[in-house]
Structure 1
């Protein structure tokens, strides 16, 4: 496949002009195999001695003279050269005028696109060379930060799922595959059932903050820090954070009942009715013999009715000897409930020391709501937990989870995995790899927001994308709005799969961020068809145009466009309805 097709007639730096020997048909038959003839965005080669220079075709035209003779020309751009079996981008060598140009051999294509049979997988076919498959080397794409971007319906979810599926297929043929894990944060519940891989090969958590009947993620309570909880509760730094820190400190102590009764006594003596009523209502399952103590508006003091109909009042010593002394304290077994318990008494302690309770009780109100939501989606344990189980892939479905808890879950889990990777590495080489995947990432990694929860979450992922490579933890995101994504996250990505983008802000962001993408490739972004993409980054030697393979229907994420009318439409006319009915009848008889 080294037949010459033309010769170089002009060299102007990296821009080269070549003249074809003759007009070529769309396909050439060489040694019985069809090959695409040279055309826009395909490659040709030329030699300088024994060195092979690779050029990309960026234009073609013809010139006719008065005698109706036609000459055919191509504009080329130097991309690099092959040396010692490796493709090197650079301009150490430039073509020589009058040297011939020819098509690339299969071996040379494999060198350029870094194809290695053991570590590579196919993702599709060359958009301009339809008989040529495009492979990417697993070693250059999986241990990297990846971005998949494109408008709705452009095929980005299929691309993301395809990469993960092909990677999982490679893991089936390697030993120690347990050292490779994938965690998907599924914001729209698209990756359940058979999406990507068989249901029995993945661990799925379907979370909900509107119900307690769904799954809960196992999480080591010891991985939850004071700062994490301070962000969740939006605790003020001067007044409320010290209270929260003291509550964390008390978790490690074994206080007896007298410790808590002491502060209950102070609350009653100081007539702090709001704090006491909150304790009585929210901690009633842990504090016995407190339910009959009430605040008397008439007397402006706490009281309890005696068996003989008389009253105990909190300004009388009998109230404490006969009522308070009989209070029973049962500390919660669950760590999160214990923290809530300690938080109430930490507030009580501050109030005893003269702090105005009005500054502290809002913290308790927020804690009730946040802790209730946390209980619905997280199972707190005090031991090391593994969200993956025996599988390589875990999927956390978040479609029925409110915004704050979505941010919380993604941040807590990612931070815990990052910390685990740091500890496991120590002073040695990385022993395992974790890929964190976020589809519809603009819902989490957006910029410019004043929310403490969001900013904390964004900081967590920015830290991963900046430092994760050293510890074997990588980020893979997909989004239809790259202009909404944090600039820090975008700029740190290594590989980009770019589907059709139309919005000027998105195009500007890609042009500004993707250093590997030349202007010639940028011009194609607005006209790509569904499933077509430009691959750019460290996993390819130069921007590559790919028609991405389509996953089997059962392995596709549940993100397909809605069919309105037709055999599989949500609306059916009478003819379609009868046809569908007959098919169901035949299926029943079979």
Structure 2
């Protein structure tokens, strides 16, 4: 038996991509049972099929109304709108695409015409609309809200793109973000994924640190709980030395002042990276500085020697080695460094330190102490030690005012203390990270929370770019940032916030250029309006949960070309777990109900206060 479609009405008017349908009956059923299938009725957002010979034009219902056919002059006296057989239902459709030769495509080649008959969209037609090519590999994210049709997303079109997941608190965005990658890791490609791809999840709220998150555990996953309060808790993050010891990064981290402190940092970092190869080179450089101060005692500032001694003491040198320096030198009435009366021939002769002078000043002991201390220091401590002596160097001959530099060192000390707790400085990170790397920042202080996402993002991006540039992409990197508005807020750009300017520049470069290098970004946020418009506009696929803030809605409207007006207007009324998906992975916007995983899911559930308050075993009578 031939299976005919349920006829609903006929096209009675066409205006651009909108068609007016005169309904045969006042059929306002939400659903129809047709040949054993439950089909969605002609309600707002539902698909209907316009039949034009062998072509089926697919359209969605955007508006509906009634007309009083017995009161065409709209007279109040002859108002028959509520009389039997007096009114007709008119539905307005918006064209989405066509089904031709069993495939759905978006084209303007076919347009509705007056007289075309309109029918319910069948299950087979829905499968074609929502489906992907039979050769495509997919993941199933949920079911369409109206039709209950399983929604499959192309793995290639979705995960080889930049993704945005947005929605108000409690709308289900964390569950959707987790579900996307959970289904990917459950796919048949998991084994090859573990060989050729890495995933980095920046988790601000500690929602993804459960051992089974994303369905990955054991040797393929590492959780980094960044904790600036307790350095013994959690693994330290491997960071390449060249990224941490970068003048731009440190100038922003230390909040260095442009006029004096930034030039100091740039010069110091250049010297450190080029000249300090090991403990011997460090000790030789600082001993040369000491000897230059002693030999140039009449030209250097009177505080130069004291500053060198203070720097040496601050890095842990034993005070007993400074007795010679303190016994033989004083400041004169003019504030210059001079040798005590009668000691000149012993210490200096014709502008050079004598062999006896080197013994009296304990130069060899100081050298040995510097070598030992530097050898046993961490990479961050080594840079800190060098900067202490660099401050002495630039102030000794008045090339910089030490009073302008000292405030910087207070910030350096606190920042390095925090970094020391959470970062492992490496020369190479190629084997340091696993397949899935979850970086939790819930226990990090503000400066580390600002620094880590940018450091990780830029470091991994540059590594990927250098490996695949000019070659076929044989490996990919995926960066996932939850609560992305925390670090991608564009409000303070070009407003004196150097940190924000630099950070946004890094992420804008990543989202513009990353795709060509196999580097893909997934952003999740409850405040899309706070994210840089440049970053949002470069996103390829959007999963939008309920949003009600007018500013957020306006931002999305301006940056999502694939979302039509009627779908956009539905966003504020979406329920929990309901999401509209639009972009490269879907031919038409689709409303989906994303199921909540029963056991493996983010730690983002709302607290049930009645369970919390009703569970006390040590209840005592309240005092009233």
Fold shared by both chains (TM-score > 0.5): yes
The reply to whether residue 321 of structure 1 matches residue 367 of structure 2 is no
Question: In structure 2, do the counterparts of structure 1 residues 521 and 26 end up closer, same or farther at CA, with 3 Å as the change threshold?
Answer: closer
Kept in 2, the 8 Å contact 1:62–1:73? The answer is yes
1:395 pairs, out of 438, 448, 468, with 438
Moved more, 155-164 or 538-547: 538-547
Write out per-residue CA displacement over residues 513-536 of structure 1, whole angstroms, 9 at most, x where no aligned residue.
Answer: 222222212222222211112222
Report deviation, 1:453: 3.1
- Rounded to whole Å, the distance in 2 between the matches of 1:324 and 1:575 is 69
Report deviation, 1:63: 4.8
Write out per-residue CA displacement over residues 277-298 of structure 1, whole angstroms, 9 at most, x where no aligned residue.
Answer: 542343116x7854667979x9
2:594 pairs, out of 542, 548, 565, with 548
Report deviation, 1:377: 0.8
Partner of residue 222, structure 2: 203
2:472 pairs, out of 424, 429, 437, with 429
Partner of residue 352, structure 2: none
The reply to whether residue 282 of structure 1 matches residue 321 of structure 2 is no
- Rounded to whole Å, the distance in 1 between the matches of 2:450 and 2:616 is 47
- Rounded to whole Å, the distance in 2 between the matches of 1:522 and 1:96 is 27
- State how 1:20-35 maps to structure 2 within 5 Å: 20-22=23-25, 23=27, 25-35=29-39
Write out per-residue CA displacement over residues 165-189 of structure 1, whole angstroms, 9 at most, x where no aligned residue.
Answer: 1121125456354212211001111
- State how 1:256-275 maps to structure 2 within 5 Å: 257-266=283-292, 270-272=302-304, 275=307
- Rounded to whole Å, the distance in 2 between the matches of 1:39 and 1:45 is 13
Question: In structure 2, do the counterparts of structure 1 residues 18 and 484 end up closer, same or farther at CA, with 3 Å as the change threshold?
Answer: same
The reply to whether residue 536 of structure 1 matches residue 555 of structure 2 is no
Partner of residue 381, structure 2: 337
Secondary structure in structure 1 of the residue aligned to 2:602? coil
Secondary structure in structure 2 of the residue aligned to 1:124? strand
Write out per-residue CA displacement over residues 87-144 of structure 1, whole angstroms, 9 at most, x where no aligned residue.
Answer: 3323221112222222334443233224357521221221222x31222212111111
Question: In structure 2, do the counterparts of structure 1 residues 195 and 278 end up closer, same or farther at CA, with 3 Å as the change threshold?
Answer: farther
Kept in 2, the 8 Å contact 1:58–1:77? The answer is yes
Kept in 1, the 8 Å contact 2:186–2:215? The answer is no
Kept in 2, the 8 Å contact 1:404–1:453? The answer is no
Partner of residue 274, structure 2: 249
2:129 pairs, out of 106, 109, 112, with 112
- Rounded to whole Å, the distance in 2 between the matches of 1:384 and 1:132 is 45
- Rounded to whole Å, the distance in 1 between the matches of 2:524 and 2:132 is 25
- Rounded to whole Å, the distance in 2 between the matches of 1:509 and 1:314 is 76
Report deviation, 1:443: 0.9
Kept in 1, the 8 Å contact 2:290–2:305? The answer is no
- State how 1:360-509 maps to structure 2 within 5 Å: 360-389=405-434, 392-449=435-492, 450-509=496-555
Question: In structure 2, do the counterparts of structure 1 residues 337 and 113 end up closer, same or farther at CA, with 3 Å as the change threshold?
Answer: same
Secondary structure in structure 1 of the residue aligned to 2:231? coil
Kept in 1, the 8 Å contact 2:304–2:392? The answer is no
Question: In structure 2, do the counterparts of structure 1 residues 573 and 419 end up closer, same or farther at CA, with 3 Å as the change threshold?
Answer: closer
Partner of residue 587, structure 1: none
Partner of residue 15, structure 2: 12
Partner of residue 558, structure 1: 603
Moved more, 28-37 or 266-275: 266-275
Kept in 1, the 8 Å contact 2:184–2:190? The answer is no
Report deviation, 1:16: 0.9
Report deviation, 1:399: 0.9
Question: In structure 2, do the counterparts of structure 1 residues 468 and 512 end up closer, same or farther at CA, with 3 Å as the change threshold?
Answer: same
Secondary structure in structure 2 of the residue aligned to 1:429? coil
The reply to whether residue 238 of structure 1 matches residue 263 of structure 2 is yes
Report deviation, 1:379: 0.8
Secondary structure in structure 2 of the residue aligned to 1:415? helix
Partner of residue 212, structure 1: 231
Secondary structure in structure 1 of the residue aligned to 2:507? helix
Partner of residue 77, structure 2: none
Kept in 2, the 8 Å contact 1:536–1:544? The answer is yes
Secondary structure in structure 2 of the residue aligned to 1:170? coil
- Rounded to whole Å, the distance in 2 between the matches of 1:293 and 1:324 is 7
Q: Structure 2: which 5+ runs fail to align?
A: 71-79, 336-340, 348-355, 620-624
Write out per-residue CA displacement over residues 263-290 of structure 1, whole angstroms, 9 at most, x where no aligned residue.
Answer: 13445754336633542343116x7854
- Rounded to whole Å, the distance in 1 between the matches of 2:106 and 2:468 is 34
Moved more, 229-238 or 164-173: 229-238
2:197 pairs, out of 144, 168, 180, with 180
Kept in 2, the 8 Å contact 1:182–1:393? The answer is yes
1:221 pairs, out of 241, 249, 255, with 241
Question: In structure 2, do the counterparts of structure 1 residues 576 and 167 end up closer, same or farther at CA, with 3 Å as the change threshold?
Answer: farther
Report deviation, 1:320: 5.0
Kept in 2, the 8 Å contact 1:149–1:482? The answer is yes
The reply to whether residue 157 of structure 1 matches residue 174 of structure 2 is yes
1:122 pairs, out of 140, 148, 160, with 140
- Rounded to whole Å, the distance in 2 between the matches of 1:32 and 1:525 is 32
Kept in 2, the 8 Å contact 1:500–1:529? The answer is yes
Partner of residue 49, structure 1: 53
TM-score, scaled to structure 2: 0.82
TM-score, scaled to structure 1: 0.86
Moved more, 379-388 or 66-75: 66-75
Question: In structure 2, do the counterparts of structure 1 residues 293 and 519 end up closer, same or farther at CA, with 3 Å as the change threshold?
Answer: farther
Question: In structure 2, do the counterparts of structure 1 residues 459 and 332 end up closer, same or farther at CA, with 3 Å as the change threshold?
Answer: farther
Secondary structure in structure 1 of the residue aligned to 2:214? coil
- Rounded to whole Å, the distance in 1 between the matches of 2:452 and 2:276 is 23
Q: Structure 1: which 5+ runs fail to align?
A: 303-310, 578-590
